[in-house]
């Protein structure tokens, strides 16, 4: 899907909310085309980090580099165009619209002819739309959504809607996919399915996946590397085996219940 996948380099990121240091000098590197998870107890700073990566929050200091580009200070829509796509807790899906239309919405940032040409029904716009619909069908196939394309999103199961959210993020042709608790509220079968899908997105499509997730079984089974946060600080970083055996992690995180109530 992407010819050149840049590495992601997060350096010394600091975010403060009043007296709270939500991120206190956090650094980590993500190899292209890998699954990199960010874990930690409630309030550790995981969501704040996703918000920094996607440009929702501007850190007080530090940098986020995608290849040669520093993303800090860029607007969220510019960051999306540079290849960061976020699924979940992002834009709500439009339940009455079809799966296909929801995926087409994901491609709007990629359209060249724009809405005016499209509205006028110009041939260039029609060709472009055909191309985008073709790509949407490919993405739907990858996510096993072909048969659901024409039906309204609102009628899909919970797991199905989650798949549409991933599909819509993929429709943006990202270099990096940000996933915020993709299996929260799912049953075991759905979790297994989404886990294999995420691994496949990294391996087959060579898209870098940044995963924030409380489900430790999933995290440890699909991640290439894991960064562990606690009170805004990085307390561990390594392969799943390394972090699982790190006394700092065992003491601070894995010793406590890993499933949050919400």
Ligand X SMILES: Nc1ncnc2c1ncn2[C@@H]1O[C@H](COP(=O)(O)OP(=O)(O)OP(=O)(O)O)[C@@H](O)[C@H]1O
- Selected binder of ligand X within 5, 8, 22, 226 (CB under 6 A): 22
Q: Work out how close the CB of 43 gets to ligand X at its nearest, in angstroms, rounded to a whole number.
A: 4
Measured in Å, how far apart are the chain's first and last C-alpha atoms? 35
- Selected binder of ligand X within 37, 48, 80, 195 (CB under 6 A): 48
Nearer to ligand X, 142 or 253 (CB): 253
25 binds ligand X (CB under 6 A): no
223 binds ligand X (CB under 6 A): no
Nearer to ligand X, 43 or 240 (CB): 43
Residue with tokens 């299996």: 183
Span of 35-43, 93-101, 108-116, 215-223 interacting with ligand X by CB under 6 A? 35-43
Q: Work out how close the CB of 154 gets to ligand X at its nearest, in angstroms, rounded to a whole number.
A: 26
20 binds ligand X (CB under 6 A): yes
Nearer to ligand X, 5 or 219 (CB): 219
Q: How far apart are CA 248 and CA 255, in angstroms?
A: 10
43 binds ligand X (CB under 6 A): yes
Q: Would you tell me how many other CB atoms lie within 10 Å of the CB of residue 185?
A: 11
Size of the site for ligand X (CB under 6 A): 12
Q: How far is CA 80 from the centre of its chain?
A: 11
Q: Work out how close the CB of 123 gets to ligand X at its nearest, in angstroms, rounded to a whole number.
A: 47
Residues that bind ligand X (CB under 6 A): 17, 20, 22, 40, 42-48, 260
């Amino acid at each position: 899907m992407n010819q050149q996948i840049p590495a992601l380099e997060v350096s010394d990121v600091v975010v403060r909310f009043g007296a709270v240091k939500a991120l206190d000098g956090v650094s980590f590197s993500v190899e292209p085309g890998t699954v990199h998870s960010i874990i930690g107890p409630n309030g550790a700073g995981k969501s704040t980090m996703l918000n920094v990566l996607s440009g929702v929050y501007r850190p007080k200091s530090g940098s986020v580099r995608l290849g040669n580009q520093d993303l800090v200070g860029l607007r969220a829509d510019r960051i999306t165009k540079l290849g960061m796509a976020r699924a979940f807790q992002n834009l709500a899906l439009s339940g009455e619209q079809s799966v296909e239309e929801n995926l087409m919405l994901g491609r709007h940032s990629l359209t060249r002819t724009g809405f005016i040409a499209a509205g006028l029904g110009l041939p260039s716009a029609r060709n472009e739309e055909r191309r985008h619909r073709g790509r949407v069908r490919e993405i739907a196939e990858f996510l096993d959504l072909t048969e659901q394309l024409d039906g309204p999103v609102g009628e899909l199961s919970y797991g199905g809607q989650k798949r549409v959210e991933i599909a819509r993020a993929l429709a943006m042709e990202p270099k990096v996919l940000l996933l915020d608790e993709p299996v929260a509220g799912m049953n075991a079968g759905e979790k297994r399915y989404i886990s294999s899908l995420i691994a496949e997105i990294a391996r087959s499509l060579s898209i870098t996946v940044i995963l924030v997730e409380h489900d430790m079984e999933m995290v440890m089974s699909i991640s290439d590397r894991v960064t562990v946060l606690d009170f805004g600080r990085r307390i561990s970083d390594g392969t799943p085996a390394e972090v699982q055996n790190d006394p700092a992690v065992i003491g601070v995180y894995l010793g406590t219940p890993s499933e949050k109530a919400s």
